[in-house]
Amino acid sequence: MPTSRYGRVLLVGLVLLTAVALWQTRDGTPALALVNAHPQRVMGTDCTLVAAVAPGDIARAQKALEAAEAVIRDVEARMSVYVEASELSRLNRAVAGENVPLTADTLGVLRIARDAASKTAGAFDATCPPVLLLWKDAGERGKRPSEDALSAAREATGWTRFELTSSGAQKKMADARLDLGGIAKGHAIDRTVGALKKANVKAGLVEIGGDVRVFGPGPKGQGWAVHLRHPFRKGSCGTIELQDAAVCTSGSYQRFTEIEGQRYSHIIDPRTARPVQDVPSVTVVAPDCITADIWATALSVLGPEGLEKLAAIDGLEALLITGRPEDFAIHQTPGFARLLRDPLRLE
């Protein structure tokens, strides 16, 4: 979980619904009130919202945080495959050729997901559920899927199996499915930052399950400090300083299935229909969170070679850790190295 320089303040917020602390200037006068909230069970994980406002604006900030939480829950209600009534679940249940009406926001995310498939050379593929389900089933049975099952699942994926219209989407084949698990969190964070800014909150932080976006000046006028999760054990392996940016981490160390004594990541390589291996952690910094979310998943698939593709896009920086605890390698863009406060601590 990321903390900011107000580590103590965030801890207080874990106990209370919203907590407030006054950030002191050097001469002791309160400069900013830090109002924070920790909505429970958001997108299946933890969440931290922080609004930094003038001390006279605390009540307004609390209202803004309540509205921000509603924005996240709205995205979850429409885009989660775990919510039966979501727009995405309805589309997944639809028969081929049925036009499923979608809200502009959901349709917008589907368009971004479709574009991401070509920008990442097929590494990010939201049409991958046939492959995900095959490996979920394999995990439950404790047996690796057969070659035939793998090629059938791979054949069942791809954006040619969907048509996006101006008001909704259609499946072209009955077995086509979508999963926005690699993108919806980033989108929810972006929308939440937008809602806070609209409510005239000039600086703050939104975090869901370790993915973060910060905006406005940090408490002392410079950046916000965000801790990076250690890929192989509990705790942090470094701290980056961010200003008006997002950071997302994808990691197989967090979520995996064990089959026949081997660990398999929750991220699959759409090109081979197999879970990715040997990339335990990818962290991406981007101007917005949906982009960081997409690329953290995509680089988990592409590995260090993917850094070249990422370098061609302005404002993106990445850190990849490959290998195993006893034999790992660090790959990072020069810009990522500059964001690090101190050298990484991976031993």
Please give the backbone phi and psi of residue 86, each rounded to the nearest 5 degrees, phi first. -65, 160
Closest to ligand AMP by CB, 76 vs 179, is 179
Contact partner at residue 210 from ligand AMP, Mg ion, none, CB < 5 to 8 Å by partner kind? none
Of residues 176 through 235, those in contact with Mg ion by CB under 5 A are 182
Q: What's the closest the beta carbon of residue 344 comes to ligand AMP, in angstroms?
A: 20
Q: What's the closest the beta carbon of residue 241 comes to ligand AMP, in angstroms?
A: 23
Contact partner at residue 181 from Mg ion, ligand AMP, none, CB < 5 to 8 Å by partner kind? ligand AMP
Closest to Mg ion by CB, 246 vs 296, is 296
Closest to Mg ion by CB, 34 vs 282, is 282
Q: What's the closest the beta carbon of residue 181 comes to ligand AMP, in angstroms?
A: 3
Contact partner at residue 125 from Mg ion, ligand AMP, none, CB < 5 to 8 Å by partner kind? ligand AMP
Decide: 280 and 322 in contact? Cβ < 8 Å: yes
Closest to ligand AMP by CB, 57 vs 207, is 207
Q: What's the closest the beta carbon of residue 126 comes to ligand AMP, in angstroms?
A: 5
Contact partner at residue 126 from Mg ion, ligand AMP, none, CB < 5 to 8 Å by partner kind? ligand AMP
Integer-rounded Cα radius of gyration of the chain: 21
Kindly tell me the sign of the dihedral angle through the C-alpha atoms of 137, 138, 141, 147. positive
Residue nearest to Mg ion (CB): 297
| Pairing label, strands 47-53, 100-101 | unpaired
Rounded (to 5) percent helix, strand, coil in the chain: 35, 30, 35
Cross-strand bridge partners of residue 246: 213, 286
Q: Residues near 110 by Cβ (< 8 Å), separated by ≥ 6? A: 102, 126, 162, 164, 169, 178, 180
Q: What's the closest the beta carbon of residue 302 comes to ligand AMP, in angstroms?
A: 10
Closest to Mg ion by CB, 106 vs 297, is 297
Closest to Mg ion by CB, 265 vs 297, is 297
Contact residues for ligand AMP, defined by CB under 6 A: 124-126, 128, 132, 179, 181-182, 250, 266-268, 270, 293, 296-297, 301
Closest to Mg ion by CB, 126 vs 296, is 296
Closest to Mg ion by CB, 297 vs 332, is 297
Angle at which helices 184-198 and 58-79 cross, to 10°: 150
The amino acid occupying position 157 is T
| Pairing label, strands 47-53, 281-286 | unpaired
Q: What's the closest the beta carbon of residue 24 comes to ligand AMP, in angstroms?
A: 37
Pull the structure tokens for residue 63: 């209202």
Calpha distance 292→317 (Å, rounded)? 9
Determine the 3-state secondary structure of 111 from DSSP: helix
Decide: 284 and 247 in contact? Cβ < 8 Å: yes
Contact partner at residue 270 from ligand AMP, Mg ion, none, CB < 5 to 8 Å by partner kind? ligand AMP
Calpha distance 330→304 (Å, rounded)? 9
Q: What's the closest the beta carbon of residue 123 comes to ligand AMP, in angstroms?
A: 6
Calpha distance 20→55 (Å, rounded)? 10
Contact partner at residue 204 from ligand AMP, Mg ion, none, CB < 5 to 8 Å by partner kind? none
Cross-strand bridge partners of residue 20: 35
Q: Is 293 in the site for Mg ion (CB under 5 A)?
A: yes
The contact set with Mg ion (CB under 5 A) reads: 182, 293, 296-297
